[in-house]
């Protein structure tokens, strides 16, 4: 069996699994666009699921944590509930953490292991702890792939 055949088979089953995961999260109350790709082992806020918004064509990799509440900040003796938003055509890399109340713009790459503590504008790459902008003016397609970079030319 060729690598192309293996990849085609894997892609076929992955699409089915992705649809299942997406529906499961939406049934639980998360505001996730149907085109979002959710990988395994996610830790998405279970206390306030309706406060998590994810825009179209975004990819969230394994081990990502997205929070929409804060136990340390209290309102009437209850945890603070705040909306956390991720824009369209974003890529949230493995192990990233997005803290409560953060708004991430469209076409953003969040680096692996980054801790996003503040709002992020559109069309940037952020990385680090706390996450900081390391590249601006990026452009992404509907597969959350950077389109203004190539292996031959680098950044354009």
Q: Active-site positions?
A: 71
CB contact set of 96 (below 8 Å; sequence gap of 6+):
61, 64, 65, 110, 111, 112, 113, 114, 115, 116
List Cα–Cα distances, 152 to 108, 139, 148, in angstroms.
23, 17, 12
Closest alpha carbon to 26 in 3, 58, 49? 49
Provide the 10 A C-beta neighbour count for residue 70: 17
DSSP 120: B
Going by DSSP bridges, is the β-strand pair 149-150/154-155 parallel, antiparallel, or unpaired? antiparallel
CB contact set of 156 (below 8 Å; sequence gap of 6+):
148, 149, 150
């Amino acid at each position: 069996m060729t690598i192309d055949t293996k990849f085609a088979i894997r892609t076929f089953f992955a699409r089915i699994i992705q649809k299942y995961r997406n529906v499961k999260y939406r049934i639980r109350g998360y505001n996730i666009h149907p085109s979002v790709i959710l990988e395994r082992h996610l830790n998405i806020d279970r206390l306030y699921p309706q406060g998590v918004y994810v825009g179209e064509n975004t990819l969230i990799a394994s081990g990502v944590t997205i929070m929409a509440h804060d136990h340390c900040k209290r309102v009437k003796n209850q945890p603070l509930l705040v909306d956390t938003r991720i824009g369209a055509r974003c890529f949230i890399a493995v192990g990233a953490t997005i803290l409560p109340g953060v708004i991430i713009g469209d076409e953003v790459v969040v680096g692996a292991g980054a801790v996003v503590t503040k709002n992020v504008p559109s069309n940037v790459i952020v990385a680090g702890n706390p996450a900081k902008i390391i590249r601006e003016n990026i452009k992404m397609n509907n597969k959350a792939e950077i389109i203004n970079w190539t292996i031959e030319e680098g950044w354009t």
